[in-house]
Every structure is written in C-alpha cells, then in structure tokens.
Structure 1
Amino acid sequence: MQGAQRNSLRLLQWMMAASLALPIALFGIASTISYTSTKDIADREIERTLDVAHEHALKVFETIDRSLAEINEVVRGLPDDIIRAREPALHRRLKRLTDALPQLKSAWIFDASGRSLVNSLASPPPQQSFADRDYFIAHVDQNVGSFIGASLTPRPPYQGARFFGVSRRRETDDGSFIGVIQASVLPEYFESFYARIGSDPGSFFAMGRTDGVLLTHFPRLDRDLRLDPTGPVGQQIAAHADHGLMTVAWPSDGIERRIGYRRVAEYPIYISAGLETSAIRARWYATIGQHLVFGIPATALLFLLLAFAFRRTQHLQLEAARRREAEEALKHSQRLEALGQLTGGVAHDFNNLLTVIRASVDLLNRPQLTEERRQRYITAIADAVARAARLTSQLLAFARRQTLKPEVFDVGERVQSLHDMLATLLGPAIEITIWLPAEPCLVNADASQFETALINMATNARDAMQGMGKIAFRIEPATTVPDSLAHLVCSHGFISVAVSDTGIGIPAARLGRIFEPFFTTKQVGHGTGLGLSQVFGFARQSGGEVTVTSEVGQGSTFSLYLPRVPADLLPQQQAPNTAPAAAGSGMSVLVVEDNIELANFAADGLTELGYSITLVDNANDALAELVVDSDRFDVVFSDVVMPDMTGLDLAHAIRDRGIGVPIVLTTGYSEALSQEGSLGFDLVQKPYSIEELSRVLHKAARVRRLRHGAAE
C-alpha cells in the first residue's frame, strides 16, 4: 500500500518535474526561434528602408547633376565679363532653380580665382574669394567630374544652415580651367526625410563619402565625424564595397547597431540605414514578455500558448506571403490590361489600314488594269499611309516625342473651317453650335495637331452622347486659367477652346484617368484610348493645358488653353504648295541613313530625279567624307535617330567644323527634337514622299547658292 503510494507520489513528482521541465525547454526553444525571427525581420526592415533611402539619394544627386549641367549649358562659352553683365538675369534663374529644389540652399558660378560671378543668394554678389573651399580646389588641376565636398559652415556675410557642395569644373573647349559651378546641398533636407521614414525607435541613418567623411547623420550630430578606414566600419566596407550588413558600435556615440549600407550608383557616396541592437532586443523582449504574462499562472497553459504563438506566427507569415502574391498578381493584371487595350485598339486600327494597302497592292498586280483604277488604288494606299501616320502621331504627341510644326493661325477661323467635316463626322443626329469671338484669337501652334485635338474632343463628346445630342464649341480669350498655367508669364494671355456636350457625364472616380494613354471605356478593339491623350500631349507641348469639368447626367466640358499671340504676327495667306518634285540637275547629295531599305528607297527616287547620290550608313563615315572633300556635296540629308552618333550630333559637328554644306534632317521620332526643336536645320517628317524630299533638298541647296552669290 505504501509502496503504491510512494510510487504514486514519485509518479506525481516526475509529472510535476516534467510539467516544469518540458515547458521550460519548449520556452527556451521558442525564445531562440523568436529571437532569430526578430533579427531576420529587423534585417528585412533595414534592407527595405535602405532601398528607400538609396533611391531618394540617387534621385537627389541625379537632379543636382542635371541642374549643374543645365547651368553649365547656359554659361558655356561665355566669358566672365558677359556673365557679370547678365548677372541679374542669371541670378533670377539660379534663384528659381534653388526655390524649385528643396534640397538646395544655393547655386553658384565662380571664376578661375574663386570669386562669385553669380549666385542665387545675393545680387550682385560680394567680391569675396572661395578659392580655399574644397569644392573649388578639387577642379583646379584636372576635370574630376562631379565633386561632392565635405560639410561646411557658410562664410560671412552669408548665413544659415550648414551645407556640402556638389560642383563641376568650368573649362574652355581646349580644357583650360575657367571656374566652377557649384550647388550647396542642405544636409538637414536628408535628415528631415530620414526622420519621416525612420519613425521606429532606435532608427539610424547616415550618408557619407567613400573616404569616410560623413555628410548627414540621423540622429543629428553636433560635430563633424570622419570614419577611420582601419576601423570596424572601414574594414567591413573595404571587404564588401558595394553593399553589406553589419553589427557594429558606431563611432559617433558608441551605440551598437545593426546597419546596412549601399553605394549610390557611380557617386562616391554611401547610404546607411539601421536599428539599435537594443531596440531589436526590446522587440524580442516584448514578444517574450507577452508569452510570460500568459505562461506564469500555469505551465500547461504556457505550453499551449507557446505552441499557439508559434503556429500563429507561421500563419501570419503565410498570410503575409499570400497577400504579397495577390498584390503582385493585381499589378500584373493591370499591366496586362493596359497591354491588351494597346494591342486591341492599335492592332484593330492598323489591321484596317493594312487590309486597304494589301488589297490595293493585289489589285495593282492584276493585268490590263485601267489607268483610272490604277490611280484609285494608289490613292487608297496613300490615304491609308496618311491615316497610319496620324495614328502614330497621336502616340508621339502624348509622349511628347513628336516634333511639332508651329504656325500662327486664327483659332476661330480654323474651327469654323472644320464645321462641315465635323458635321459629317458627328452625324445628323448631333446639333453643332459654334460661338466665335468678335476679335481675332491667334495662337502659334501646330495647326494639324490642333485640328486632330479638336476632332478627338468632338468624337469623345459624340460617343458620350451615343450619337445624339448637342455639342457647343466656344472660342474666346481666357479670363481665368487653370492653376497649372498660373506660373507661366504670357503677356498676351491665353485662348480658350471649350467643347461642351449633353452626354452622360464622367464619374468623379474616372476624371483622374481620362487623359491616361490606352485608358478607354469602349470595348476591346473599338478604340485605342489615345484620343484624349493626344489632346493632353499637344496642349502641354504647345505651352498650354487641357481641363475637364463634368457632372453625371449633365454632360461634360473640355477646355483647351493655348498661349495667345498678337495680331501682327499673322502671316499673309499663301496658296497651298502643290509644286511638283524638283529636278536634281546633277545636284550632289550625301545621304546618311542606317536603315538600308529606306536608304535605297531615297537614293533610287532621288537618282531618278537627276540627283547624284553618295550613300553612307552612319554619321562617322559621313563626317569623314565631308572632311576629305566637302565641296563635292551640295547638301547633306541625314536621319536623326542612329546608333553611336545621331543625325543631330552630325549636324552640330558639321557646323562646329565650319563646313558650309547645308543639312536637312529627317525623323519620325526624336526626343531631342521634341524638346529642343530643329535648331535651325531643315526638317522632313517621316513618312515622306520623294517629291517632298526633293523640294526641301532643292530649297536648302538654293539658299546656299544665294548666300555664296551675295558673298561674292
């Protein structure tokens, strides 16, 4: 009996010991897993935060580099006395630049002695030398590209926050040093950004140069700090130069942190982000503390809670992974939707045009074809090509990659001239009203693109009314303009072209997307979604704006705003140019085209007209031909978009070398021309005809002969 009791007590003791030992062992294992998981989560958070900080720093320095390049282009080739003479205007330009970029404190242009020619802070600048500053000294002996200096204190009489300089060398064409262009960057701009993204306790950020000089630090330091290349941080970076993750006692305060670092592209800059290891441990303690609160009353409950916590953690991680997969799937579906709208709409329109072309070609190949039918099929092919070019121009207009051909015209007259075509396009069930102003409303814009924009707005209104209703066109000088145009200085104001309909209106949720490319509410294959996008691109590229107001069930009003020009700029009306192709009469043309099929087409067509053609497939060979003997060519005809050296680069090189051969450019797409214009060169827009090309070449060569005759 006692033996059985003792056995029962012993068994109870073993169970009590087991009830303590087993939960403790499980708790130890769970604690280890939790600590490892907490560290892994912290590392992932550090990597994500570092991604944000790195992307931010890269964009900031790229923006500063572009700004310095823009300033350098403004003063390139200008002697110091001219820059001083233009100081008030340059000061205002630099001030606008720094006001637009919150990361900049100021922008400077220095001469070779370190004195400020222009800056954004004071006009005129005090006669004071900055030749001892690091951002100046670095450029004196050689061109080091963009130099990023150390953190500096403003020199009296200039005041304010500390800064570090980003500078570039000013030099002559032969490489001689003539000064420095510098932008003063505010470290506190980065610190404010880090404060926003580093809201977690123990967050840490730093940005420094590759030589160990720190530029910014969060939390903020009250002294300068330079990292020792032989210290733990320097050794880690030396071992893994591009990026890495380390646990180290930071030299500025001795606090141990988990820190990730990454180099900013080609810049000599590192971005660091991290967390204090005590903060990471605090997270782990918080997690373990929650387990202990529920585990102390009963070891059995502790065991169940630990098991539940472990399973719950796995479940939460699984749910997070599923959520990420769902988000990626949603993004992928949105991209596929946009691609589907593009391929459906554009393929539908282009297939219609290709069908006309293919059918016309097949019919042209039939024997015993009458001249009247042959001309009809040729005209059908030409019309199909023109419609395809207009569809392509809509894509380029939205992307602002199209070279516009501005001319001065009266908006009211142009809209009135389109009345009959609009009536046919919109149908008899739509009533058209046109309100014209009492005074001329002149603009300087691409008339063809303006007509296309007007037709797109009218077509959009027709579809909104399902082919039945009223459309009103109102042209008038704009008494008020959208906020996006308020910053533009236009002495003659703007012209407003408002297109109002009585359609179903646009829901507020869709107003923000109507100008997006390929966004359409039509069925797949019934529209490209490029109509309103073309209106948007044309307005912005012409220096104007397009707005929309709408109420569901009450219709919509689209308002196109274009800069107004004075009446005295309206040219005398001329008869349309219907001149035939100009005979070559032995004129020598250097054709530069990398597309062999297009090059042969142009060469064959011009040869039949009597031109002497020399064909090369790249700009370097063309330049070599001109350097050897430029007198044997009457004109250069070059494509713009070519590998290595573009046609625009070739034209500049010909001008820079003083070669007197005129240049005619051709393109169907050029970002450089869309932003800068043709820069004084004659331009033939693709697709072009041989007749049009011959007239432009003949005109360019004739202008050269007239200049030579006047010089003699």
Structure 2
Amino acid sequence: MWDLVRALSDGRYAPHGYCLLWQPGLVWTHVVSDLLIAAAYFTIPIALISFIRRRRDVHFGWMVWLFALFILACGTSHLMQVWNLWHGDYALEGLVKAITAFASVPTAILLWRLIPQALALPSPRQLALANAELEGLVDERDAALARLTTEIAKRERAEEALVQARKIDAIGRLTGGIAHDFNNLLQAITGNLDLIQQRPGDQARVARWAENALKAVDRGTRLTGQLLAFSRTQRLELKPLSVDPMIVGMLDLVRRSIGPAIELHTRLEADGCRVQADQTQLELALLNLAINARDAMPEGGRLIIATREVMLVDHQELEPGRYVEVAVADTGQGMSDEIRERALDPFFTTKGVGRGTGLGLSMAFGVARQSGGTLNLNSAPGAGTTVTVLLRCVEGAVAQPEAVVAIERAPPPAPQGLELPVMVIDDDDQVRDAIVDGLRSLGYTVLPFASGAAALRARADRRPALTVVDFAMPGLNGADIARQIRAEEPAARIVFVSGFADSAAIDPFAGPHTRVLRKPFQSGDLARVVAEMLADQAE
C-alpha cells in the first residue's frame, strides 16, 4: 500500500514526450487532438446540464447528471495527457482515470437497465398518433356539446312554450270565469233595472227590484274581493290573532255550512302562539276550505280542523322560525296529480255548474301569502285531502302603521257643511255624474272635473273644503293629485274612490284627513264619509 503511495508521489517519471522522441509533428498532433477532445467533453456536460435544468419534466434526468459527470471526467483525462507530454505526473493522471472509471462503470450498468424503460416511452410517431386520436375525441366531444346545447335550447324553448301555453290557459280560465260570473251579475242588475224602468210607479215592486239589484252588486263586491285576495293586492287589516279561539268561535258556522252528514273534529294545540293576520279574511279562507271539503264528501265523512306549533328550519318559501300550522283535512275522494297541480288556479273547479266559483283555494292561498305564510295541498285519489296553512308566530302586540280608515255601509247621516264646496275628480263620466248627483241631491255644492290637471288649475280660483278623487285615472292619478294638493295644503281633506286595491300607493296619505271608498259603494256610504269629513269645518 505504501509502495503504491510512494509510486504515485514519485516525481522521477519521464515526460511522455520522450516516448515520442520529441518529434514536433507527432507531439503537436497529440496536443491538438487531446485539447479538442477535452473541449468537446467539457462542452457536452454544460449543454446537458443546461437542457435538464430547463426541462425538469424529462424522464431519467438523474441519468443525464451521471452521464455529464462521466463525460467531464473523460475530458479531464485528455487534459492530463497533454500535461504529461512535458511533465511526468502519472500519479495524478492515474487518479483522474480512476475517477473516470468510477463514473463510467455505474453509468454503463444503469444505462443497460434503463433501456427497457426508455423503449417503453412513446415515440414521436406514437405521440403524433395519440395527439391525432385525442384531437378526434375532442372534436367528437365538441360536436356532442354542440348537439347537447342545441337540445337544451330546444327543450328550454319547449318549456317556455309550455309555460306560456299554461299562462294563456290560466288567463283564459280566469277571464272566462270572470266573464261568466259578472255576466250573471250584470244580468241580474240589468233585469231588475229594466223592470224598474218599465214600471216606475209600482213602488212595492220597484223597492224589491232595487233590492235584488243591490244584492247582485254585493255578490260582485265579494267576487272582486276574492280575486284581489288571490292576487294579494287587497289590503288586509293585519293584527295579532290567536288562531285557536278564532276557530272555536266559528265552529257553529262551519257546522251549519257542512251539514249534519259530516262529522266535525278539532285538535287545537296552538293556543300559545299568535299570528299576524286579518281575522275576517282568515275566517273566510278557512270557511271556504271547509266548504270545499264538504263538497268532496257528498255521502258524508269526517272533517278535521287541527292546529299546532311547528319550528321551520329549512323551508323553500318561508324564513326559519316558529309557525302555526292550520290543517283542514277531509276523508273525501281526493285529487289526482293533474287536478292537484291546477287546484290553486283561479276559477278552476271540478264541481258542477252553479256549485262554486273555483276561487276558494286560490283565495285562501292569497290570504296565506299576504299574511306572510303559505298554503300546502296534499291529496291522493281515495285518500282524502289535507290543506295546510302556515302562519308565522309573533311575539306580543305588534305595532301597526296608521291605516287608512275603511268605510262600511251605514244609514246616511244628516248632511254637514252644505255651504262648503266639494270637488269631485273622476275620468269616468257615468261614475262622476252619479257621485255629483248624489252629493247635489243632499244639498252640497259640487265642483266636478274629468281630469286632475283641470281640477288643480281650478283650485287656484276656488279652494274646496273636500276633494273626492278617483284613484286610477290616466295622466295624473289620485296619488299624484293628492300629493300636489297636500304640498300646498298639508291638512287638506281627501276621499279616495278606488276600484283597485293598490293600498301601498294610498298608504302614504293615511291619516285623520283621508278616507277611502271602495267601489262599488252606495250613496249612503258617500253621504256618511262626506258628512264626517266636513263635520268639524261646519262647526
């Protein structure tokens, strides 16, 4: 071992040039060749390392590093050969060759082991074919997506057409139902008025015919109220209400309405919760549900009215919280899926002619929604029907905004403030003439106008003590006129005459100096409200 060390460190070796007899041509041939080979060997690792650093995704990158080390060692051995032409450092040259051997042998062994894996890699042609196949699949996918998009568009158009057809069908049923019922009412009114016109001197019969006409008007008023309840535009007097006592109070009416052939059962378990609702409308809705249940059990059965408190956590339509569930269930014939889907449509009915308007369920649904709740319908053929109304519980007395005072019919009072002028604004000539004639027959001084613009101009010359204005008019409507009047005279007395329940537009004018007359109204209603509004001024 020590002999090897001494041999490597012995500086007495002759330069390799002696072996070449120092012939210049031969010496420089070796020098130039070895330098060129060394330069190439040094360049190759630099190129490999630069490539592998830029393409870190290349397979077997570690093999490239090992091969670069082998090439670098080879280039160093050629430099040592040039050096030893003039120096005898064969020990250093041997060490470089040992390093080269150490790098080359593992490289060669590992290279043979990597050949199968390298052969398994796809060739450029295979990659090109794979890419072409992939592009074909992508084209097929794009074509399929285009067909799917076209199909979805067709389906959406078909669904829109179906929805539109259903809307048209619903509108057709709605208008047909309204036309049918109102034609009946108009016939009753026209027939009685025609009889009055034919025999005006027969006072007894005239009174009876007039009463029949007024009854027809009352039926029309109830019908429009049901329509407005369905459309959720009718103003409700929402107040805190305990549902259980309300139901107990209307049980006698329900029993009389359903008849003795049907057993009435109640399970009232929601006494500890109050809801925000209009008691009159809610009672009417529940009575309609009971009558529908009666009609579904022509041979008798059982009607159950049940209440309970429920806690809603995840509901599609309602916010989470405590609710009162009012269920009206019957043991009748039930509904098919097709009938159940259309049951809430206005004027849809499966009853015979003259046995209902088809507004009961739709009216109950409208009242429930306007009260902040909803209505659910569960039914199956032969399994009866259960209608469930959900209403949100409220805590304590809920403060209500000051409401516009509603006018109820009463005997006409004695006229007040006959010397004070009353302005009447209505674009309908017949309605305006009826109001004007009614007021003049009581002795009032009336200023009639067909438009708001003309009425506002006339106020500059003569300011009335009271303005009776139709709410829905072309140009300036009742709200626009009232807004301009109140801008000049904040305490001006105004009576809105409305056949459209747009309470949201009237609410800003609510107060002691505002009243609302809902069409149709009788002359006594008009006389009472005018007398009330002018009473304090007449004093």
Query: What TM-score, normalized to structure 2?
Result: 0.60
CA contact 1:431–1:470 (8 Å) conserved in 2: yes
2:331 matched to 1:502? yes
Task: Give the alignment of 1:659-670 within 5 angstroms.
Answer: 659-670=490-501
Task: Give the alignment of 1:4-153 within 5 angstroms.
Answer: none
Match of 1:455 in 2: 287
Q: State how far apart, in whole Å, the 2-side matches of 1:368 and 1:482 are.
A: 68
2:447 matched to 1:618? no
CA contact 2:497–2:518 (8 Å) conserved in 1: yes
Deviation at 1:334?
4.6
Q: State how far apart, in whole Å, the 2-side matches of 1:660 and 1:325 are.
A: 56
Deviation at 1:428?
3.1
Q: State how far apart, in whole Å, the 1-side matches of 2:157 and 2:533 are.
A: 60
Task: Give the alignment of 1:540-551 within 5 angstroms.
Answer: 540-551=369-380
C-alpha spacing 1:416/1:467, structure 2 compared with 1 (3 Å)? farther
Match of 1:157 in 2: none
Task: Give the alignment of 1:284-683 within 5 angstroms.
Answer: 334=166, 337-364=169-196, 365-366=198-199, 369=202, 371=204, 373-406=205-238, 411-436=243-268, 439=271, 443-466=275-298, 468-478=300-310, 480=312, 483-484=315-316, 486-487=318-319, 494-508=323-337, 510-522=339-351, 527-564=356-393, 578-586=410-418, 587-630=420-463, 633-671=464-502, 673-674=503-504, 677=507, 679-680=509-510, 681-683=514-516
Cα distance per residue 1:557-598 (max 9 Å; x no partner): 212233455676799xxxx98453341441321111111100
Q: Which amino acid aligns with 2:433?
A: N
Cα distance per residue 1:535-564 (max 9 Å; x no partner): 111221222222233344332221223345
Q: State how far apart, in whole Å, the 1-side matches of 2:247 and 2:207 are.
A: 32
Deviation at 1:510?
4.9
CA contact 1:641–1:669 (8 Å) conserved in 2: yes
C-alpha spacing 1:634/1:534, structure 2 compared with 1 (3 Å)? same
Show structure 2 runs of 5+ residues with no match: 1-135, 145-153, 401-407
Aligned-CA RMSD value: 4.4
Match of 1:14 in 2: none
2:517 matched to 1:688? no
Cα distance per residue 1:411-455 (max 9 Å; x no partner): 445444444443343333222334456848655533442233123
Deviation at 1:496?
3.6
Cα distance per residue 1:153-173 (max 9 Å; x no partner): xxxxxxxxxxxxxxxxxxxxx
C-alpha spacing 1:577/1:455, structure 2 compared with 1 (3 Å)? same
Deviation at 1:358?
3.3
SS of 1:589 mapped into structure 2: strand
CA contact 1:353–1:385 (8 Å) conserved in 2: yes
Match of 2:8 in 1: none
CA contact 1:344–1:524 (8 Å) conserved in 2: no
Q: Which amino acid aligns with 2:531?
A: H
Whose strand proportion is higher, 1 or 2?
1
Q: Which amino acid aligns with 1:649?
A: D
Cα distance per residue 1:173-193 (max 9 Å; x no partner): xxxxxxxxxxxxxxxxxxxxx
CA contact 1:393–1:402 (8 Å) conserved in 2: yes
Deviation at 1:646?
1.2
C-alpha spacing 1:462/1:362, structure 2 compared with 1 (3 Å)? same
Q: State how far apart, in whole Å, the 2-side matches of 1:558 and 1:570 are.
A: 30
SS of 1:559 mapped into structure 2: strand
Q: State how far apart, in whole Å, the 2-side matches of 1:440 and 1:582 are.
A: 47
Task: Give the alignment of 1:217-232 within 5 angstroms.
Answer: none
Task: Give the alignment of 1:199-210 within 5 angstroms.
Answer: none
Query: What TM-score, normalized to structure 1?
Result: 0.47
CA contact 2:495–2:515 (8 Å) conserved in 1: yes
Q: Which amino acid aligns with 2:230?
A: F
C-alpha spacing 1:497/1:634, structure 2 compared with 1 (3 Å)? farther
Q: Which amino acid aligns with 2:305?
A: F
C-alpha spacing 1:361/1:410, structure 2 compared with 1 (3 Å)? farther
CA contact 1:346–1:528 (8 Å) conserved in 2: no
Deviation at 1:615?
0.9
Q: State how far apart, in whole Å, the 1-side matches of 2:306 and 2:159 are.
A: 46
Q: Which amino acid aligns with 1:532?
A: L
CA contact 2:415–2:442 (8 Å) conserved in 1: yes
Q: State how far apart, in whole Å, the 2-side matches of 1:664 and 1:324 are.
A: 49
Whose helix proportion is higher, 1 or 2?
2
Match of 2:103 in 1: none
CA contact 1:461–1:500 (8 Å) conserved in 2: yes
C-alpha spacing 1:351/1:627, structure 2 compared with 1 (3 Å)? same
Equivalent pairs, count: 387
CA contact 1:341–1:529 (8 Å) conserved in 2: no
C-alpha spacing 1:407/1:428, structure 2 compared with 1 (3 Å)? same
CA contact 1:395–1:530 (8 Å) conserved in 2: yes
Identity of aligned residues (%): 36
Q: State how far apart, in whole Å, the 2-side matches of 1:675 and 1:545 are.
A: 25
CA contact 2:409–2:524 (8 Å) conserved in 1: no
C-alpha spacing 1:437/1:384, structure 2 compared with 1 (3 Å)? farther
CA contact 1:430–1:469 (8 Å) conserved in 2: yes
CA contact 1:590–1:615 (8 Å) conserved in 2: yes
CA contact 1:591–1:637 (8 Å) conserved in 2: yes
SS of 2:305 mapped into structure 1: strand
Q: State how far apart, in whole Å, the 2-side matches of 1:559 and 1:328 are.
A: 30
Q: State how far apart, in whole Å, the 2-side matches of 1:366 and 1:705 are.
A: 41
CA contact 1:341–1:524 (8 Å) conserved in 2: no
Higher RCO (CA-CA < 8 Å; seq separation 6+): 2
Q: Which amino acid aligns with 2:315?
A: D
Cα distance per residue 1:96-138 (max 9 Å; x no partner): xxxxxxxxxxxxxxxxxxxxxxxxxxxxxxxxxxxxxxxxxxx
C-alpha spacing 1:409/1:433, structure 2 compared with 1 (3 Å)? same
Q: State how far apart, in whole Å, the 2-side matches of 1:415 and 1:286 are.
A: 64
Q: State how far apart, in whole Å, the 1-side matches of 2:259 and 2:347 are.
A: 25
C-alpha spacing 1:494/1:588, structure 2 compared with 1 (3 Å)? farther
Deviation at 1:605?
0.7
Q: State how far apart, in whole Å, the 2-side matches of 1:473 and 1:388 are.
A: 30
